[in-house]
Amino acid sequence: MEKDDLKVLNKGGEDEMELRGYRLCRWRLALVGLGVLCTGGFILLLLYWMPEWCVKSTCTRSTARDAQVVLMRSTDEFRRWFLAKVRVILAPGRNPFHSLETQTTSPSPSSCPTPPSASPPLANGYTPHPSDGSPAQELIRRYADYQPTQIRYFTLHSTKYYWNDELQNFEVLTGLEDLQISCSTLHSEHSAGLSRSQQEYRRLFFGVNEIAVKVPSLFKLLIKEVLNPFYIFQFFSVILWSIDEYYYYAVAIVFMSVISIATSLYTIKKQYVMLHDMVATHSIVRVSVCRANNDIEEIMSTDLVPGDVVVIPGNGTIMPCDAVLVSGTCIVNESMLTGESVPVTKTNLPNPVPGEKEAEADSAYSTEEHKRHTLFCGTNVIQTRFYTGELVKAVVVRTGFSTAKGQLVRSILYPKPTDFKLYRDAYLFLLCLVAVAGIGFIYSIVLSIMNEVPAKTIIIESLDIITITVPPALPAAMTAGIVYAQRRLKRIGIFCISPQRINICGQLNLVCFDKTGTLTEDGLDMWGVQRAENGRFLLSEENAYKESLVKTQFVACMATCHSLTKIEGELSGDPLDLKMFEATGWILEEATEEETSLHNRIMPTVVRPPKQLLPPEPAVAPDQDMELYELSSTYEIGIVRQFPFSSALQRMSVVARLLGEKRMDAYLKGAPEMVASLCKKETVPENFAQVLEDYTKQGFRVIALAHRRLESKLTWHKVQNINRDHIETNMEFLGLIIMQNKLKPETPKVLQDLHEANIRTIMVTGDNMLTAISVARDCGMIPPQDTVIIADALTPRDGMAAKITWRYADKPSKTPRLEEVAITLQDVCHIDEPKTQEQYHFAMNGKTFAVIAEHFPDMLQKLVLHGTVFARMAPDQKTQLIEALQGVDYYVGMCGDGANDCGALKRAHGGISLSELEASVASPFTSRTPNISCVPSLIREGRAALITSFCVFKFMALYSIIQYISVTLLYSILSNLGDFQFLFIDIAIILLIVFTMSLNPAWKELVPRCPPSGLISGPLLFSVLTQILICLGFQTIAFLWVRQQSWYKSCSLHTNPCNLSSYGNDSDHNIQNYENTSLFYVSSFQYLIVAIVFSKGKPFRQPSYKNWPFVLSTISLYAFLLFIMFHPVHIIDEFLEIVDVPFEWRFKLLVVILVNAAASVLMETFVLDVVLWKLVFSRDKQGSFGATPAAPTPQGGIDLWGYRCLSWLCCRRKMTPKARYMHLAQELSVDPDWPPKPTTTTEAKPCPDNCSAYQIMINS
Which sequence positions are flagged as catalytic? 514
Residue 339 to residue 865: CA distance in whole angstroms = 31
3-state class (DSSP) for residue 809: coil
Rounded to 10 deg, the angle between the 1074-1094 and 934-971 helix axes is: 170
SS (HEC) of 498-535 = CCHHHHHHCCCCEEEECHHHHHECCCCEEEEEEEEECC
* Cβ-proximal residues to 546 (8 Å cutoff; 6+ apart), any chain: 613
Q: Give the helix ranges, DSSP H, for 916-1017.
A: 934-971, 979-983, 992-996
For the residues of 243-291, what is the DSSP string, one character each?
HTT-HHHHHHHHHHHHHHHHHHHHHHHHHHHHHHHHHHTTTS-EEEEE-
Torsion of CA 369, 917, 905, 646, to 10 degrees: 20
668 burial type by CB count under 10 A (0-12 exposed, 13-18 middle, 19+ buried): buried
Sign of CA dihedral 1033, 1038, 1043, 1045: positive
* Cβ-proximal residues to 692 (8 Å cutoff; 6+ apart), any chain: 672, 673, 702, 736, 770
Helix (H) or strand (E) holding 651: strand 651-658
* Cβ-proximal residues to 371 (8 Å cutoff; 6+ apart), any chain: none
* Cβ-proximal residues to 205 (8 Å cutoff; 6+ apart), any chain: 91, 96, 151, 162, 173
Residue 873 to residue 868: CA distance in whole angstroms = 13
SS (HEC) of 1122-1172 = HHHHHCCCHHHHHHHCCCCCCHHHHHHHHHHHHHHHHHHHHHHHHHHHHHH
- Are 964 and 465 in contact by the 8 Å Cβ rule? The answer is yes
The one-character DSSP state at 621 is P
Residue 1238 to residue 1242: CA distance in whole angstroms = 11
Beta bridge partners of 322: 398
Counting every residue written for the chain, the total comes to: 1260
- Are 338 and 922 in contact by the 8 Å Cβ rule? The answer is yes
Beta bridge partners of 512: 762, 894
- Rounded to whole angstroms, what are the CA distances from 1140 to 507, 545, 1021? 52, 97, 39
Residue 243 to residue 456: CA distance in whole angstroms = 10
1045 burial type by CB count under 10 A (0-12 exposed, 13-18 middle, 19+ buried): middle
Residue 402 to residue 202: CA distance in whole angstroms = 15
3-state class (DSSP) for residue 408: helix
* Cβ-proximal residues to 54 (8 Å cutoff; 6+ apart), any chain: 47, 48, 83
The one-character DSSP state at 390 is B
Residue 65 to residue 16: CA distance in whole angstroms = 19
Residue 996 to residue 1002: CA distance in whole angstroms = 15
The one-character DSSP state at 1186 is G
Q: Give the helix ranges, DSSP H, for 779-869.
A: 816-829, 846-855, 857-866
